[in-house]
Chain A
Amino acid sequence: MTQAPPREYFEFFGLAPALSLDAADLQKRFYELSRKWHPDRFSARPPEEQQIALDATATLNDAYRTLRDPVRRAEYVLTRNGFPIGEQRTKDVPPELLEEVFELNMALEELRSGDSGVRPQLESAREHFLSLRAAVDGELEELFRSHDSGGGETVLSAIRGVLNRRRYIENLVREVEKALGARATA
């Protein structure tokens, strides 16, 4: 009789709960586990085993989606260690971004009212936010490494702070791209 696999994502993949992962290795493991657990492999088996395979593959796919993405992976680890990620609060502007966000909103407003003269300003704002995001990603990588070498709660708490900032920047990028994209095709 087939035994259900572990539901914990890292365990399922046979990995230690590290924040830095080798993407190619993860993909290889995903394919191997898919070959083992996919419902297609169980179509001639008893219904109970088919159910186990279905549940296992659903968990496997959910786990892969989570682990292959650094941000989701970090959120998963935070939640499991008692650092829940709250609802995203876009109202809380990180203080160092206050001025830029104010200018951005003005420019977006002007674009919406038909002034395409602000486009260059928005383009450069996008570039700026993208470089901010890249910097944050670098910061995260650094923190991931110190977590994996036994960083403890201080590091987790720091990661949570950086993730919140990243999410805020991500929203800004999306908003600018939406505004630029919508105008470009109109």
Chain B
Amino acid sequence: MSTFQIDFGEANKTPIVGIDLGTTNSLVAFLDLTGPRILPDAEGRNIVPSVVSLAADGGMLVGEAARDALITSPERTVYSVKRLMGKGPSDVADELKLFPFRIDETQDSVIRLKLGDRTLTPPEISAQILRQLKQQAEDHFGAPVTQAVITVPAYFNDAQRQATKDAGRIAGLDVLRLVNEPTAAALAYGLDKRKQGIVAVYDFGGGTFDISILRLHDGIFEVLATNGDTHLGGDDIDNLLLRIALEDIASEWGQDVSGNQEAVQLLRRAVIRAKERLSFVPAVTIELDYRGRQYARELDLATFDRLIAPIVERTLEPCRACMKDAGVTPERIDEVVMVGGSTRIPLVRAGVEKLFRAKPHTELNPDEVVALGAAVQAGILAGDVEDQLLLDVTPLSLGIETMGGLVSRLIHRNSTIPASAVEQFTTAVDGQKNVLIHVVQGERELVKDCRSLARFDLKDLPPMPAGMARIEVRFLIDANGILNVTARDVRTGAEQSVEVKPSYGLSDDQVEAMILESFERAEEDIRERQVREARVEADSILTATEKAKKDDAWMDLSDAERALVDRAVNELLVVYHSEDYVLIREKIEAVNEATMKLAENMMNTAVRSALKGTKI
């Protein structure tokens, strides 16, 4: 069959998609002529639950299918993996008390999760979700998608951003830009229609909380300040309700089921449903039906509000700090935008309204607004949107360790990015060949209270007396909020090599290895799919041929022609069960050719009948 080649001109550019890689849900969106829109999956669903499960046959399940596996095989299933991105095992000790994750204890700087017989890092698991979204986009365009904008919480540190970028690379995506979620939401709201003004974006999602305050000016979105908590979200409310319900069950049943993952996951589902329903009704019942035993507890909105009040209050403190850093009072804020599923909670809305003294915007679906904004940013990068520009900031100060474990701050928080700082370094002893620079992120004075980011090793210094070397090091935070370090010998002007040792996260080599592995697996997957598709095609041509042989047209063929068809069909049947899809396709083609005359005859008969006005 011949295909139409229609030249859409500009439309032929490779599409850049926008991806919201969320704690609970993930989405992919694209900006077309009508505006940004979500690209749904084959079943028409916009949202992919951020759940990944290793199936019994070694394949990966993502999204809805994996969410069901959370009940049936929790030990092979991971959710909320975003909370583990860019973290070390010691960071998540508390987390693991409630999550069913099992960690490979032998590793120090990178978390490795055990899923069945495989051990995977958080970026590899996130890559599975990204691959699913990539596939959805490819199905939509009918063409490969290799470029993306991915959103991250504004308050993500360098390691968390790097881990997100790594996930993209592992999934085969060139991550053109990481955009902060609240800023993306501001873009999606198209608030630039208001030519000038101050806007606050309150983003309370599944696992993270962000607040950003922006100044809008003729299409420029300038972030004045951002603040947040990368460990505060709807998950915390779920865990709180879950803990209470588990205790309640223990006292009612006289049996502690908190060690039973199936019961815990069923109950988790029940409390999440209860939480969500309480945004619309005044009272709900948390129910669990487990191995013949029933549990039911009524929860009314007033009690729910009292329980979660401390969590909501924890979001308001960063808001106050953010207003202070932005140099604005609540009166000066013209609009407040609500983002993230947790902003559906009435108490959250009331708290925000009271703090900012403004009724918050809730017109756009809080689950979709970030992905839509990512698509707008993708459009900016593609050159399709020319009047808008995002000027974002770095959420945390960047410093280096100096004597006595003190931090010398080089780039302050809320500096517009890209931002840079230059420092000179020298040697302390004669003939010293290396200088090690320890870079940290955070607002505290002591290194031990900040987040270690990486150690940069200035290597192969020429031998010189102490203090004579002059190495100029440039720290540059790029538009993704990721640190780049370059060094130069001031005397010679030559570039000085710098080896990066990330404190938490994967080295470049490790990421490369994962990309290779994922390619190998992807090749396996692709081959399997090709074989399956070839067989489906073979089925259809064999059925069609079988049917045609009952037609009069079959008898119109010569004996030789009939023999040719039978031979071709036989050969196809012989290779049908082989794993060689190329061979299967060759034989399909052969049947196709052998039955050409037959098909023509049938067509002629049909046309003749049609002309005569008779039915075939």
Chain A interface (Cβ within 8 Å of chain B)?
A: 31, 34-35, 38-41, 43-44, 54-55, 57-59, 61-62, 64-65
Contact = CB atoms under 8 A, between A and B. Distances in A.
Contact of B478 (A31, A43, A54): A54
Contact of B391 (A34, A41, A43, A59): A34
A59 B420 contact: yes
A55 B476 CA distance: 9
A110 to B, nearest CB: 25
Question: Shortest 3 CB-CB distances between A and B: which pairs?
Answer: A58-B418, A58-B420, A43-B381
Contacts of B257: none
Nearest to A57: B418
Contacts of A35: 220, 389
Q: In the complex, which of the residues A43, A54, A62 has the most CB atoms of chain B within 10 Å of its own CB atom? A: A43
Interface string B418-434: 11110000000000000
Contacts of A55: 420, 476
Given A34-B220, A34-B389, A40 B420 contact: no
A61 B416 contact: yes
Contact of A61 (B217, B218, B380, B415): B415
Nearest to A39: B479
Contacts of B415: 61, 65
Interface string B308-332: 0000000000000000000000000
Contacts of A38: 389, 391, 479
A39 B421 CA distance: 18
A12 B391 CA distance: 18
Given A41-B389, A61-B418, 20 more contacts: A34-B220, A38-B479, A39-B418, A39-B478, A40-B177, A40-B377, A40-B390, A43-B382, A44-B382, A54-B418, A54-B478, A57-B418, A57-B479, A58-B476, A61-B417, A62-B419, A62-B420, A62-B421, A65-B415, A65-B419
A69 B262 CA distance: 59
A43 B217 CA distance: 23
Contacts of A44: 382-383
A64 B415 CA distance: 10
A55 B475 CA distance: 11
B381 A40 contact: yes
Main secondary structure, interface of A, reads: helix
A186 to B, nearest CB: 15
A43 B176 contact: yes
Main secondary structure, interface of B, reads: strand
B323 to A, nearest CB: 15
Contacts, number: 55
A77 to B, nearest CB: 18
A41 B384 CA distance: 11
Contacts of A31: 217-218, 220, 222
Q: In the complex, which of the residues B218, B377, B390, B418 has the most CB atoms of chain A within 10 Å of its own CB atom? A: B418
Q: In the complex, which of the residues B218, B377, B479 has the most CB atoms of chain A within 10 Å of its own CB atom? A: B479
Contacts of A54: 418, 476, 478-479
Interface in B177-204: 177
Contacts of B381: 40, 43
Contacts of A39: 418, 478-479
Contacts of A57: 418, 479
B95 to A, nearest CB: 29
B389 A58 contact: no
A58 B419 contact: yes
A45 B401 CA distance: 37
A184 B381 CA distance: 48
Contacts of B478: 39, 54
30 contacts: A31-B217, A31-B218, A31-B220, A31-B222, A34-B220, A34-B389, A34-B391, A35-B389, A38-B389, A38-B391, A38-B479, A39-B418, A39-B479, A40-B177, A40-B377, A40-B389, A43-B381, A43-B383, A44-B382, A44-B383, A54-B418, A54-B478, A55-B476, A58-B420, A61-B415, A61-B416, A62-B419, A62-B420, A62-B421, A65-B416
Contacts of A59: 420
Contacts of B420: 55, 58-59, 62
Nearest to B147: A43
Contacts of B416: 61, 64-65
Nearest to B218: A31
B380 A40 contact: yes
A86 B255 CA distance: 69
A58 B482 CA distance: 13
A86 B605 CA distance: 99
A40 B419 contact: no
Interface in B360-409: 377, 380-383, 389-391
Contacts of B380: 40
A37 B383 CA distance: 14
A9 B478 CA distance: 19
A54 to B, nearest CB: 6
